[in-house]
Amino acid sequence: MNYDVVIIGSGVAGLQAAIHAARKKVKVAVIGKIEASALSKAHIENYLGIETSDGSKLLETGAKQARHYGAELFPEEVISVEMSEGGFIVKTDGMKDLACKALIIASGISRNKLNVEGEKEFYGLGVSYCANCDCHFFKKKKVAIVGNGSNAAVAALLLKDYADKVYWVAKAVTASKELMEMVEVSSIEIISPAWPAKIVGENVVKGIVLKDGKVIDVDGVFIELGAKGAADLAIELGIIADESGSIKVDRECRTETEGVFACGDITGQPWQMAKAVGEGCVAGLNAASFARKEVE
Ligand SMILES: Cc1cc2nc3c(=O)[nH]c(=O)nc-3n(C[C@H](O)[C@H](O)[C@H](O)COP(=O)(O)OP(=O)(O)OC[C@H]3O[C@@H](n4cnc5c(N)ncnc54)[C@H](O)[C@@H]3O)c2cc1C
């Protein structure tokens, strides 16, 4: 099967890239399961023009739009990618071999888990992996941020403007000096060295139990332990992800390998729909131009 552009990932960035590429009248395939997008579990309230919407509805509409402009969607997993003469070969677990001239990596990220009792059970019921997305649900409440580094510090500094009380639980605080200066003059209470043994509650989060047995009563637990990207596929193309698992791109969403573009969460923070949409647009347009040899 031959395509001009193949997109790995059918989340926000991949679908937006598909819409923009397909409207340039190139042949586009999108591989990925829509329901596996991070957005499918999100409730969006911070995207321009949308007061409130379930992410799954936005994805369904996005997939419909991409198909409407001619993109073909395959709900499969990409298992390998290799370079070939004039482009790339993408292999899927559905036994498809797709040849393409340009490739877009829009495979998102998977947030690192704490792996303690209660984390899964209370996900969306007080447990969150995204301070930017969920801060306003915790107005005048008590929250704990779990993590050691700058991500955790940024989340704590944001949450202190919403919540009545912010605890920051860390094994050892490793955030930057600048962030620590802000934390130190704030009302954030650092509990360190410490680590949660479990998250407890009744229908919703009520607290965390630390490894030393101490209980902290909170309504929310923000887990800020960074994320993993689908960097293995990128490595097959000679693209090395940085230590946080992000793929470096330029303003045109080009990676360091010619003909390979990347967009969305996989290119780094902020992990937000608005960024994924913007980058998806840029990557889609530029991959289509590359495939049509509109670029030098
Ligand atoms: C609980 C939650 C709440 C959120 N709330 C908000 C919010 O309020 N506002 C906001 O702006 N953002 C929010 N976000 C973040 C937002 O969902 C992401 O920024 C956005 O979905 C990123 O888009 P993406 O396309 O990069 O990745 P995703 O949407 O995650 O899509 C990645 C796609 O790649 C696919 N994929 C991965 N590997 C492969 C492979 N090997 N083969 C085929 N397909 C593959 C996946 O299946 C998935 O379909 C939230 C996220 C979560 C988890």
Same domain membership, residue 147 and residue 63: no
Same-domain pairing of 106 and 118? no
- Asked whether the beta carbons of 102 and 87 are under 8 A apart, the reply is yes
Total domains, the chain: 2
d(CA 257, CA 234): 9
Residues 140 and 217 in one domain: yes
Spatial strand order in the sheet of 142-146:
127-128, 220-223, 142-146, 165-169, 189-191
Same domain, 105 and 246: yes
| Site to substitute for ligand 1 among 59, 271, 277, 282, most atoms within 8 A of C-beta | 271
Do 180 and 236 belong together in one domain?
no
119 and 217 inside one domain: yes
Whether the link from the prior residue into 196 is cis, omega within 30° of 0, is: no
Q: Tell me, what's the pLDDT at 130?
A: 87
* Same domain membership, residue 237 and residue 183: no
**Given a cut of 70, is residue 229 above it in pLDDT?**
no
In 3D space, the residue among 291, 274, 280 whose CA is nearest the CA of residue 253 turns out to be 280
Cα(43)–Cα(36) distance, integer angstroms: 15
Contacts of 207 (CB under 8 A, 6+ apart): 199, 200, 201, 215, 216, 217, 218
Are 144 and 218 members of one domain? yes
Strand partners, 103: 6, 260
What residues make up the domain containing 46? 2-110+227-291
- Residue whose Cα lies nearest atom 23 of ligand 1: it is 12
Average pLDDT over the chain, rounded to an integer: 93
Picking from 165, 200, 223, the residue at the C-terminal end of a domain is: 223
Distance from residue 265's CA to the centre of ligand 1 (Å): 7
Are residues 8 and 255 in contact, defined by beta-carbon separation less than 8 angstroms? no
**Domain match, 106 and 248 both:** yes
Task: Give the position, in ligand 1's atom list, of the atom nearest the Cα of 107.
Answer: 34
Q: How far is CA 89 from the centre of its chain?
A: 25
| CATH number of the domain enclosing 122 | 3.50.50.60
Cis peptide before 270 (omega within 30 of 0): yes
Q: Are residues 169 and 217 in the same domain?
A: yes
pLDDT at 296 exceeding the cut of 60: no
Kindly report the protein residue whose alpha carbon is nearest to atom 45 of ligand 1: 9
Q: Is the pTM of this model over 0.85?
A: no
Q: Which residue among 205, 223, 241 closes a domain?
A: 223
For residue 233, pLDDT over 70 is answered with: yes
In terms of domains, do 101 and 248 share one? Answer: yes
The last residue of a domain, from among 170, 205, 223: 223
Would you place residue 234 in the very low, low, confident or very high pLDDT band (cuts 50, 70, 90)?
Answer: confident
Does some domain include residue 296?
Answer: no
My answer on whether 125 and 168 are in the same domain is yes
pLDDT value of residue 222: 97
Pocket of ligand 1 (CB under 6 A): 8-14, 31-33, 36-39, 41-42, 44, 46-47, 77-78, 106-108, 129-130, 133, 230, 264-266, 271-274, 276
Please tell me the distance between residue 120's alpha carbon and the centre of ligand 1 in angstroms: 18
